[in-house]
Amino acid sequence: MNKKRYIGLFMCFIGLIIMAAIVFAEPIPENKFCFGIEYLMPQPGGFNDIINVYSEIGAVWSKFNGPGTGWNDIEPTPPVKGRHTYSWDKVDEIVLTAQRAGFKRLIVVLKSNSRWGVGNIKPSGPLERLSASRGTVSALPDSEQNLKHYQDYVFNFVERYDGDGRGDLPGLLYPILDYEIETEAQHGVYWHGTADDYVILLKTAYEAVKKAGPRARVILSGFAFFDIFDEGSRNEEEIARLIDELSSRYPRGDIRHKFGEKFRAQLDFNARILKEKDYFDAVEFHLLSYYKSIPGIVAWIRGQMAKNGYEKPIWMGDAGAVIVPCSDKRGFLSSRSTYTIFSKAPYENGDALFEILRAVQDKHGLRYQEVRSWFEAEQARILVKSLVLAMGEGIEGGNWWTWKDVPQLLKSNGTGRSWALCGLIDDDNQSKRPVFHSYKLLIQKLGAFSSVEKLVIRPDINAYKFIVKGKPVYVAWHDSGIAQSPGQSKSIRVGLPLIIGKETALLTPIITSRSQTVFQEDMNISRDIVLTETPVFIE
């Protein structure tokens, strides 16, 4: 009898393992594209309130950006007599809060930023000093023993959240199976070391990740690019010419001059680590340039993969920051303006527009409310365009910046300020901006797509055909070649059969106004439609 009971208990145990395997079997959701919002950490104000608001959108991905999940955060003191002391409380709380709100898939940046394990780091510039003061600069551990301690940190982090039933966070709802090793290691602001140093760290981390969770994925340090791909793909000669022009475009005294001078080395850094195909599973790039750069960036990454005889998934992060109007000033005084390091200023009078948005008052002959309404509409337009382009390029998924505005960044340097006003909801943690509703609409319309192709109609029309549950859904907009500032709008009339091959269709414009919170479908019965810079869904 006891024998039968033990057999029964054993079979129940096996059944539980099988059930857990089914629940935690696949790190990638069924969707063809993974929709996300970043960052979970640094934690936005009122996070416990806003995370449930965001569950309405339908995005299920998010990301920890290193602060809070780095080695120094998890293990602030060295082991004593071989015993590690890890601090999980903050990460545990955010993981459970996010997962309970429906964010099933999380990406974690693991950083070798230990104050005791990597030795003294001497920053060489203002951005490096700022990162060092915040404890976000990483380096290769300074001894074999500390490299082993770093590997233990990575192993234990993955083991705690991989959902395999061994040492898991109590109450974990979904496994965390995506781990990015450092972020933007190429330019030296967050990583102090060579590409070869990074490769040593990557291999060490890869072994630890796979040992803890064989199904977990390692993501290569996120890449950042200048604006060299804003006009599309480039061959090697064109890339070399554009890189040569960077340091002259931004004269000495301009903080971007140094980045321009060193961008060839940064690109070489990325090319070098892309050779280590056996030690990562996916590649991430950061959309810090204008959304039109997506195809060129993807082509460069895939070109490097092809040179080394492989192809792996590509992920997009940091998307959306370049919506903020910024300055095109150059030289020493540019540091007093709002600018982006990796992008040209897309909008006319960007300085004046930003000052109006920041000051929340009329200035420069422009009215705040008009500028604000334009900016919120532009947020919605760029989100849809960026993600449609990304889907069209076969990217695996993308995280959009950000939950709510970050007013602290307004006190930062010029490039920090450009990230400050990109929230999808207001500071009251409730009021949803048009971009919130348009993101929701995009996922409703295209979230279940099985294939996508770019349609070649005419140079000033962007159009894509998606197959969603067996039926075609088109997305189209007019592209005049320049970003439209407040008071500007261009449109064209185009025959509907030219796009979809039929004379009638159901049209759904994206939401661009606070006065509208529910999308409105319009059965168009004519042969022509008017396309503007605002994308429209056509079915």
Phi/psi of residue 189, nearest 5 degrees: -75, -40
The beta-strand segments (E) located in 17-150 are 34-38, 61-64, 105-110, 138-139
- Per DSSP, the residues of 209-256 read HHHH-TT-EEEEEEEE--STTTTS---HHHHHHHHHHHHHHS-TTSHH
pLDDT at 20 over 70: no
| pLDDT score recorded for residue 327 | 87
Please tell me the distance from the alpha carbon of residue 381 to that of residue 379, in angstroms, as a whole number.
Answer: 6
pLDDT at 187 over 60: yes
Closest CA to 442 of 60, 59, 38: 59
pTM (predicted TM-score): 0.92
pLDDT classification of 7: cutoffs 50, 70, 90:
very low
Kindly state the percentage of the chain with pLDDT values over 70.
91
Mean pLDDT, rounded, of the chain: 89
**466-496: pLDDT as tens digits:** 999 999 999 999 999 889 999 899 999 999 9
**75-99: pLDDT as tens digits:** 999 999 999 999 999 999 999 999 9
Give, in degrees to the nearest 5, the angle at Cα 260 between 298 and 271: 40
**Hey, which residues does 217 pair with through a beta bridge?**
178
Q: Give the three-state DSSP class for 505.
A: strand
Record the tokens describing residue 194, joined without a space. 């060579």
